[in-house]
Amino acid sequence: MQRIIITLLIFIFGFPSIGICQDIDLFAQFNGRYNYTAIGNTLNSAENNTTSLCETLILPESNADLNLLPNQNVIAAYLYWAGSGLGDTEVKLNNTLINADDTYIVNYFPNTNTELFYFSCYADITNQIITEGNTNYNFSELDISDTLLSVPGYCSGSTNFAGWSIYVIYEDTALPLNQVNLFQGLEIINRNVQEKVIILDNINVLDNDDAKIGFLAWEGDNSLNFGESISINGNVLSNPPLNLPNNAFNGTNSFTGATNFYNGDLDFYSIENNIGIGDTQVEIKLTTGAIDPNSGNLRADLIILNNIITVLNSQLPDATPSINSISNDCGSRTMNINYTVFNLNSTDFLPANTSIAFYIDGELIGQEQTQNNIPINGSEIGIIAITLPDTITDNDFILEMVVDDDGMGNGTVVEIIETNNSDLERANLIPLPEIIDLDELLACDIGFNSATFDLTLALTQIQNYSNFKFYNTIEDLQNDFDEILNPEVFESQNTPKSVFIKADSSICFDIFRLPLTTENCPPIVPQGFSPNNDGFNDFFKIQGLYTIFEKHELFIYNRYGTLIFKGNDELKWFGLSNRGLTNQGDLIPVGTYFYVLELNDDNYDTPLTGWVYVNY
């Protein structure tokens, strides 16, 4: 979408105090098969400057008819009322009490000793207009009598006025797709402020057929047409015979052709010849004031501009994004972003493959695109997973999503408003929690420094947690990869090492490091064996010795105390002698023998001794 911006260039001469005004700015925008109409009436019984002092009475009420066609459906309606003074915020429309939604005030210094104020109020009356429809509307109870009596400058300066108007925006399926922009505020031109330039930017004129602009203005007098004009892009507007080029504010109503809207103007002009296809800017200039050739004095009409409304054909989309949610796992740098791209307030579909960019602190972190054509008033939901680059070092940041952005700030889709294509959302990464160390878990070496552990024994140290998972590395834990599925029987091929336990917590999870240590447990020595080469119990099989106490020495003695065998981790005793003066390499006789087992381990200072019976 394209936002319309109004710039006011005001030339002020000799104000003895600060001027009061509310810049006319975009108030509401309607996109669709829309147009508008307006009704209203004055509360002045005659035009100022045609009678003396306050003989121009302010009427207690006036009426106007609304006549919409059967196929014209009301979309919105606003009531405006204005007059001399600081305002009356409660009025009635068809005997319904109306309270102002807002009040605008401007001031004027006809001379250095007098300050006069003028007001305008508005109220949203959409529901009332929809309910009552086409009928005669009676406006009443706008009372400025106390103001006129207490401040004589209004009457002596012929700026005593009051009036009202209703703007109705309606839908008609026979219309082209239009953009209706309603601007409102309160601005004044007079002998002190003789010129006002208003720039409407980014309007994107695609088709100038039936383009029009309307104004609601107050206090214009038909008899004061000195230097008075409205121009569009340097071309003076006129609508003769109702509005001549040198008398734009003259108490007329273009909708009815009336010339007795005293001290008010409810006019519209065709501007299809004043704008061109492709235009992105319109300049409006209002002027008043010139030298009266009869008196040689400067004379100017006092004109108070209340609103501007434009109707332009504008078949354009309006991409607006919304970040619905951001989620990420604890300790993960990947964000899952759920988002919606809307095409609300549009007059054309948003094309598929419209680019989407995601930024953190101006750095592009991810890109996506719409998948389908998004219809008028439609939307599309998307999900993207983005892994943050290492250049993003903060855990807390603002994520920005921009639609129609190629990642370098460039767009390719012309929209109704170009300034609503982004959405911001605060996000944070949940850092990996500090690792908590547990007491080590011990297991007996079963050979070559390997052991079997029951990892669940460590859970007695963390009983306040639940949903435990075991992993070999911290990386596996972070990525939830290769979980240890049978922690009761965990075989470790080497130690010391650590495994890591993940346990659920209220915010994220906690991490525990469990050290695993293999220890050399005391060997279990059998009391006999049978080296008969039958494949069963053929050697002196000492459990927990070989490949565990790798530096051990085994000494075997006969009953006479003679050493008959010496072995180590690579030489087991199969009942053969390898020591003594005779019979080396022969099987020993059946009988009882004695052993001395030197473990050569720092944890075992005393050798193991005992007897073993050999039988065939």
Q: In what order do the strands lie in the sheet with 96-99?
A: 61-65, 136-140, 90-93, 96-99
Q: Say if 180 falls within a structural domain.
A: yes
In a domain, 613, yes or no: yes
For the chain, state the CA radius of gyration: 47
> Do 77 and 157 fall within a single domain?
yes
451 and 419 share a domain? Answer: no
| Dihedral pair phi/psi, residue 478, rounded to 5° | -60, -40
CA dihedral 236, 239, 242, 243 (to 10 degrees): -10
CA angle 239, 240, 244 (to 5 degrees): 85
Longest dimension (CA), the chain: 156
Neighbours of 612 (CB within 10 A): 17
Q: Is 402 helix (H, G, I), strand (E, B) or coil?
A: strand
Which H or E run includes 147?
A: helix 145-150
Q: Which two tokens stand for residue 502?
A: 């993940």
Which class for 119: exposed (0-12), middle (13-18), buried (19 or more C-beta within 10 A)? Answer: buried
Look at residues 279, 313, 347 and tell me which one is the last residue of a structural domain.
Answer: 313
Identify the CA nearest to 128 among candidates 119, 118, 138, 143.
Answer: 138
In terms of domains, do 462 and 597 share one? no
Q: Which residue matches tokens 């994520």? A: 399
Q: Is residue 1 part of a domain?
A: no
Instruction: For residues 22 and 162, state if they share a domain.
Output: yes
Residue 568 has a pLDDT of: 96
Domain span including residue 443: 435-519
Residue 423 confidence (pLDDT): 97
Quick one: 367 and 466 in the same domain?
no
pLDDT at 505: 78
Mean pLDDT over the full length of the chain: 89
Phi, psi of 242 (to 5 degrees): -70, -50
CA torsion through residues 456, 457, 458, 462, sign: positive
Specify if 477 maps to a domain: yes
For residues 536 and 608, membership in a common domain is answered with yes
- The full DSSP string for 244-305 is BTTB--SS-BTTTTBS--TTEEEEEEE-TTTS-TT--EEEEEEE--EE-TTT-SEE---EEE
Is the residue at 602 inside a domain? yes
Antiparallel, parallel or unpaired: β 608-614 and 490-492: unpaired
Final residue in a domain of this structure, among 394, 410, 428: 428
Q: Is residue 541 part of a domain?
A: yes
Pair 280, 368 in one domain: no
Opening angle at CA 279, ends 277 and 281, nearest 5: 155
pLDDT at residue number 20: 60
Closest CA to 107 of 88, 123, 90, 84: 84
Amino acid symbol at 127? N
Our count of domains for the chain comes to 4
Instruction: Answer yes or no: do 453 and 391 share one domain.
Output: no
| 154 membership: H or E segment, kind and range | helix 153-156
Which CATH number does the domain housing residue 405 bear?
2.60.40.10
Same domain, 450 and 419: no
Residues of the chain with pLDDT under 50: 1-19
Residue 157 resides in a domain:
yes
Q: Could you say which DSSP state residue 44 is in?
A: B
CA 362 to chain centre: 15
Residues 6+ apart with CB under 8 A from 84: 116, 117, 118, 144, 147, 148, 154, 159, 160, 161, 162
* Statement to judge: residues 146 and 272 lie in one domain: yes
145 with 198, same domain? Answer: yes
Write down which residue in 428, 448, 463 finishes a domain: 428
| Statement to judge: residues 132 and 266 lie in one domain | yes
